[in-house]
């Protein structure tokens, strides 16, 4: 499998870190396999469809739509345990680089298993919860 995965660069604020990561990617010959998304996009779903894996290594987060979109398109997601996450994601310990690397390797090495698990995963929208809150507040 020629693995390709995409990283959403939300918290790479240090230029040196970004340079080091890019340099290592180039040194390993992976430049054609990794895409950093650094600017807002109008439509992201085409990227999730083409991606083998979506990685969201944030140290703080909310309930990002990108994770739910990737899951709904059956793209395996590796993300930190910085906050509650939807069913179907592969978690790694927040700010633990070794655990992050192990989680990505686990998905890539068992890719077909993770893809198959997503076939039965139902991604819930947060809309129902919000509607219920409004109904409760406003009758």
Domains of the chain by start residue, with CATH? 5-138 (3.40.50.2000)
* pLDDT, mean of residues 68-85: 94
Residues 7/36, Cβ–Cβ less than 8 Å: yes
What confidence category does residue 2 fall into, taking pLDDT thresholds of 50, 70 and 90? low
pLDDT at 71 over 50: yes
Q: What percent of the chain has pLDDT over 70?
A: 88
- Give dist(CA 28, CA 15) in Å, integer: 20
Name the β-bridge partners of 53: 5
Give the tens place of pLDDT for each residue, 6-32: 555 444 455 667 788 888 889 989 888
Structure pTM? Answer: 0.75
Residue with more model confidence, 57 or 107: 107
């Amino acid at each position: 499998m020629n693995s390709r995965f995409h990283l959403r660069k939300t918290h790479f604020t240090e230029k040196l870190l970004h340079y080091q990561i890019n340099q290592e990617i180039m040194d390993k010959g992976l430049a054609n396999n990794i895409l950093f998304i650094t600017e807002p996009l109008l439509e992201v779903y085409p990227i999730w469809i083409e991606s083998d894996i979506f990685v969201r290594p944030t140290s703080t987060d909310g309930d990002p739509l990108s994770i739910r979109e990737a899951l709904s398109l059956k793209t395996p997601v590796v993300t930190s345990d910085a906050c509650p996450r939807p069913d179907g994601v592969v978690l790694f310990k927040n700010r633990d680089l070794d655990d992050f690397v192990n989680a990505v390797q686990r998905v890539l090495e068992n890719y077909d298993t993770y893809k198959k698990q997503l076939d039965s995963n139902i991604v819930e929208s947060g809309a129902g919860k919000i509607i219920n809150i409004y109904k409760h507040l406003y009758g």
